[in-house]
Amino acid sequence: MLRMLSYLASFGLFCLIILIVVITYGMARINITIPDYHQLENYEPPVTTRLFAGDGQVMMEYAAEKRLFVPQEKIPDLVKQAFIAAEDKHFYKHSGIDYSGIIRAALGNLRKIGTGKRPAGASTITQQVAKNFLLSSELSYMRKLKEAILARRINRAFSKEHVLELYLNEIYLGNRAYGVAAAAINYFGKALDELELHEVAYLAALPKGPNNYNPKTKYDAAVARRNWVIDRMLEDGYVTEQAAAEAKEKPVEVVERKSGFLKDTEYYSEEVRRTISRNFGDEALYQGGLIVRTTVDPRLQEIATKAMRKGLIDYDLRHGWRGAEANIEIDENYKQSLKDAVLTAGAEPTWEKAVVLNVAADKAEIETVNGDTGNIPLSAVKWARYKEKGKNMGPVPSKMEQVLHKGDVIYAEKDTSKVAKAKTYNLRQIPEVEGGMAVMDPHTGKVLALVGGFSFAKSQFNRATQAYRQTGSSFKPFVYLTALELGYSPTDLILDAPFVLDQGVGMPKWKPVNYSKKFYGLMTLRRGVELSKNLMTVRLAQDIGMDKIVEMSRRVGVNDHLPPYLSSSLGAADTRVINMVSAYCVIVNGGKKVPPYLIERIQDRKGHTIYKHEQTPCRSCAADRWENQPEPDFEVVREQVVDPLSAYQMTSILEGVAVRGTGAKLNGLHRHLAGKTGTTNETKDAWFVGFSPDLVAGVYIGYDEPESLGMAETGAHAALPIFYDFMKEALKDTPDTSFRIPAGIKLVRVNPYTGKPTVPGDKAAIIEALKPDFEFYNRQRVIGDDNSVVAGPENENSSLQLGGEY
C-alpha cells in the first residue's frame, strides 16, 4: 500500500514538474511574442492636420484618422467618469485586470450557452489599451492571455491617468471620429469642455459598437444605452439623482455636420496641401497634427470666387445652349431616375437638378429633385441659342421645343426677381470655359485669394497656379518698363505703322498687326500702352533689344526663360496667373520683388514652429524681459529689382489704361485703379491684371483645350468685368487713396498726343510723371520714321476707350 502511495506521489511530482516546465516554456514563448509596452510612454497617435485662414477660421483638415489629441489634464472629469462608469467601474482599484468582472462575465456566458449570443468579455480599460495599441482584434484565448499580461505590465509602468489618456484619445467612436475630442465635434459640433451630461453619456455608450446606437437608424437603442450609462454614473456617485433624471429626459440629437470648413477655399487649401506634402511628406501631412497658418483672407476669397463664377456664367450665356446632359423616361419610376441622373458637378448652391415633364410652345413644366414643380417660360431661354461645338450659334429660340424636350434632365434656378411669377424657374448650365484668379498684397507677397476654376467639384486643376497660358498684351507693361529703366520717357514718340520681319530662308515673313487692323502714325509711349498697340510695342522691343526684356521678365518673375523673340514682347510666351500677379506687384510697390506665398507658419503637434515665411532677424526681440525699453523696430527688407521712379511711371501709365484706354470700364468705380488687358491670337486667352495701391488681382479666362473664345471675347470684354466686380466689393467701404509717388518724380502737364508741354486752355492735358533729369528742351526721342505725322485725337481710333489690342 505504501509502495503504491509512493509510486503515485512520484508520478504526481513528475507530472507537476512537467506542467511547470510546460507552463514556463509556454510563458517564455508568449513573452517573446508580446510587444514592448514601453512605446506607450511617448504616445503620439496620428493626429489631424488643420489649416487656418488669416483670421483664424478653420479652412480644411487632413488626416488618415480624424483625431484631435487632448492631454489628460484637459479632459473634463465628467467625460472620464462617464467612460469609467460604462466600461470599467473598478478602474482606479484593480491592477489592470478586474477579477470580479471576469467571474461575473463567466457566469453570464454560462447562461448564454446554446442561445447563439456572443460571449461577453470582461476587458478593463487597461486591457483595451493593450489590445488597441499593441495587439490585434483576433478572437482567441492566446490573444486574451497576452492582453492580460500586458495589462498588468502597463498598470505597473504607467499612472492610471496616462492609461486613461491613451484610451480616450485612441478609441474609435464612429462617425469618422477617433478619440473623444473628435467625437464631440462630429456628433455635437462642440468642444469637449462644452458637452452636457446627456451628450457625454451618449459618447460613453458608443465603444461597444457605434453602429448599434446610431440615433438616425436605431434611436430607441441609442436612448436606452445612453440612459444605461447615466444610471451607472448615478450608481457610482458621479452625478446626482436630479441631474440624472434631467439628462435622461433629453433627446439624443446629433448635428448634421457638413464640412464645417471655410467657404470657397478648396483651391487654396489644395495648393497648401501640395506644398506641405512636397516639403514635409505625406506622413507629416496626414498623421503629424500640423497647425498651418495661411495668408488667405476669407472675405476676399469669397468675393473673388463669386466674381469668377459670375464672369464665367455670363460668358457662357453669351455663347448659347449645348443641350441637356441627360434624358429619362417619364414613367412611374421617373423620380428615382431623376435622382440617379448624373450632371456635371459644381452647380451653384441655388441651382437644382430637375426634369422636364411637358413642353408647350411658350413654356416647359419641370419638377426638381426635391419634388417642387414649376415652369420655365420661353422668355427665360432667349439666351439658349443652340450651340454645336465648332459651329456658330443658331437663331434665338421662338418656341420652347427648340431648347428643351420631355424627359430632359437639367439645372434650374428659381427666379426670385420681383417681376417673376410664382414657381418660375430659369434654365442653367455649367460653363465649359474655365479661368483662374489670384489676389495678392503687393507689399508682403501674401496670397489673399485663389480661384482655380469654376468649381473644385467640377475640376481640381488649379488654373491660377498650375496652368501655363499665353499672356497676350498683359505682358506689354514689362516691355515698356524696360524702356523706362533705360531712360526712355512716357512722352517719347513711337511709330505705329506696318512692321515686317524676315525670319530667314524658308520661313514666312512675320507681320504683326494691331487689333483694329489700322495704323496711327507717331504716338507717345504712354498711348502705346493705354491703347495696347502691337506695332508700337514690337518696334520698341526691337529698339531696346529683346535681351533686356528677357532680363526684366526674369527679374520681376513673369518667366525665367522668356524666348528672346520679338513675338514674346506681345505675350506669345506662357506663364501662370500667380506669376503675372506677383510681377504686377513689383510695379505698384515701387520696384520691390515680393514672391507670392500662401503659408505664414507651420507648427508641429506640440506647438513648435517648424517653418515660418518671414525670416527677418530681430536681435531685440530676444530680450529676456521687458524693462521699459522701446518695442523692437525692424523693417522687412525686400529686393529692389526695378528702379522705383520707373515703376511709378509705369503705374501712372497703367492708371491711364483704366481712365482712357482699353480698361476704361474701371472709370465706373471712381477709384484710383490701374491695370492692363490681354488677348492672345484667335482670342484663345483673355486676361486682365490690375491693382489699387494696396491690392493686386489677375484674371485669366480660356478653355482647358485652347480654342477661340469668340472674336469679341477680348480681355476687356471677358476678363475685365470679373476684375471690376471683384474690386467693387473688395474696396467697398474703404477710402480711395492715390498711388504713392516716390521722391524725385516730377508731375508735369503735357499733351497726351504730342508729349509736349501744354499750352493754356489745352483740354486734353494730362499729368505726366517724369524723372528729375528730364528736360523738354532736349530733342524728343522718336522711334521709327521721324517724318511721320503725330497721331492726334482726330486720327486715332474714333473711340479712345475702344481702340487697341484690349
Burial, 115: exposed, middle or buried (Cβ in 10 Å; 0-12, 13-18, 19+)?
exposed
What lies within 8 Å, CB to CB, of 726 at 6+ separation is 303, 304, 307, 437, 439, 697, 699
d(CA 37, CA 680): 66
Kind and range of the H or E element at 160? helix 160-170
Residues labelled as active-site residues: 87, 473
Q: Answer for the pair 428, 349: CB distance below 8 angstroms, yes or no.
A: no
Q: What are phi and psi of 440, to 5 degrees?
A: -135, 155
Which amino acid, residue 658?
A
CA-CA distances (angstroms) from residue 537 to 371, 565, 717, 791?
59, 13, 22, 16
H or E segment to which residue 434 belongs: strand 434-440
Intra-chain end-to-end CA distance of the chain, in Å: 122
Q: For 265, list phi and psi in degrees, rounded to 5.
A: -110, 15
CB 328 within 8 A of CB 337: yes
Closest by CA position to 755, among listed 774, 780, 778: 780
Dig out the grid coordinates for 536 from the structure.
508700337
DSSP β-bridge partners for residue 679: 686
Q: Which residue has the cell 475702344?
A: 802
**CB-based burial, 308-325: b 16+ in 10 Å, e otherwise:** bbebbbebbebbbbbbbe
Written as one letter, the residue type at 633 is D
Closest CA to 690 of 440, 434, 467: 440
Grid cell at residue 60: 480644411
Identify the CA nearest to 102 among candidates 47, 148, 66: 148
Q: Where are the alpha helices (DSSP H) in 428-524?
A: 476-485
* Amino acid identity, position 110: L
Give CA torsion, residues 756, 762, 766, 772, to 10 deg.
40
Closest among 324, 289, 271 to 69, alpha carbons compared: 289
- DSSP class per residue in 256-295: -----S-TT-HHHHHHHHHHHHHHH-HHHHHHB--EEEE-
Integer CA distances (angstroms), 14 to 9, 17, 497, in order: 9, 5, 116
Which amino acid appears at position 801 of this protein?
Q
Contact yes or no for 682/439 (Cβ under 8 A): no
Distances (CA, A) of 549 to 321, 476, 527, 655, 768: 44, 10, 20, 22, 24
Query: Using CA atoms, how far apart are residues 291 and 65, in angstroms rounded to an integer?
Result: 16
How far, in Å, CA of 383 to CA of 408, rounded? 18
